[in-house]
């Protein structure tokens, strides 16, 4: 019979802990006393976890989301639970931002549940080695956000507005770009002997698999085609 979660917890807390001249083997007076204390603590932790789970934004539905949205001054306006939950998550993360580029990266990664290394946040104003400057000061850009990982593309503009509000006062979000990857298969068939070599060149990620059938060699090239979408953001009044 499998042990209960409490039994496993009790073993870790008491039975498996070495002691000095204190008998804590199962059934001993000390073990029975510690079992009572452990049960009290374990039940208390379970209750806390249940409350935390019930009040977590990811688990809220319907009216719970509406009440949470009222706290953040973000009405539903007919949006579905999934979409509304995403906007509430974005708003709550945003309000804890310190306005730095690292905070913007954290917001994007948390909102879309993506690797922060998949996109870039940069300062538009750059000094070249020759001393000349490019871009405008106090402007930032976000580039190469994978559009494939954006579950709700219909609220991209609202997402951009939240990003602007997350920046420190005086810094403007100049533009945000999304990248969409399209996968296509390219097949090349040539009549060759099995010892001949055929090569298909590509300027993007290419993997080559070769299989021989009688005297015909088939070459398959998997290409990744990248399309970039750029959306200009509007300056937002922080006041």
pLDDT in tens, 175-210: 888 777 665 554 544 443 333 334 444 444 444 444
Q: Taking a C-beta distance cutoff of 8 angstroms, is the pair 17, 30 a contact? A: no
Distance between CA atoms of residues 79 and 84, nearest Å: 6
- How large is the C-alpha radius of gyration of the chain? 29
pLDDT beyond 80 at 162: no
| All residues at 6 or more sequence positions from 139 whose CB lies less than 8 Å from its CB, including other chains | 123, 124, 125, 171, 172, 173, 174
Mean pLDDT, rounded, for 132-156? 78
Q: Taking a C-beta distance cutoff of 8 angstroms, is the pair 169, 99 a contact? A: yes
pLDDT in tens, 24-62: 777 788 778 888 888 888 888 888 777 776 667 777 888
Q: How confident is the model at residue 19, as a pLDDT?
A: 67
Q: How confident is the model at residue 179, as a pLDDT?
A: 78
Q: How confident is the model at residue 196, as a pLDDT?
A: 38
- Token readout for 9 is 């917890």
Confidence (pTM):
0.48
pLDDT in tens, 57-113: 777 888 888 888 888 888 888 888 888 888 887 777 777 667 777 888 888 887 778
pLDDT beyond 50 at 211: no
Give the burial class of 14: count Cβ atoms within 10 A of its Cβ; 0-12 exposed, 13-18 middle, 19 or more buried: buried
């Amino acid at each position: 019979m499998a042990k209960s979660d409490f039994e496993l917890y009790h073993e870790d807390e008491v039975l498996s802990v070495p002691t000095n001249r204190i008998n804590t083997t199962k059934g001993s007076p000390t073990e029975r006393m510690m079992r009572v204390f452990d049960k009290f603590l374990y039940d208390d932790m379970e209750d806390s976890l249940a409350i935390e789970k019930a009040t977590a934004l990811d688990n809220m539905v319907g009216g719970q989301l509406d009440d949470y949205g009222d706290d953040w001054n973000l009405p539903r306006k007919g949006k579905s639970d999934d979409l509304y939950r995403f906007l509430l998550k974005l708003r709550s993360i945003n309000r804890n931002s310190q306005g730095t580029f690292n905070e913007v990266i954290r917001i994007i990664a948390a909102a879309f549940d993506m690797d922060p290394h998949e996109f870039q946040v940069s300062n538009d104003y750059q000094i070249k080695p020759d001393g000349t400057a490019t871009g405008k000061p106090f402007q930032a850009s976000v580039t190469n956000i994978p559009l494939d990982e954006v579950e709700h593309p219909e609220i991209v503009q609202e997402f951009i507005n939240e990003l602007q509000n997350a920046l420190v006062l005086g810094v403007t979000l100049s533009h945000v770009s999304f990248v969409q990857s399209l996968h296509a298969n390219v097949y090349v068939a040539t009549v060759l002997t099995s010892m001949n070599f055929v090569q298909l060149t590509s300027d993007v990620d290419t993997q080559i698999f070769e299989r021989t059938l009688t005297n015909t060699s088939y070459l398959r090239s998997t290409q990744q085609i990248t399309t970039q979408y750029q959306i200009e953001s509007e300056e937002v009044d922080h006041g």
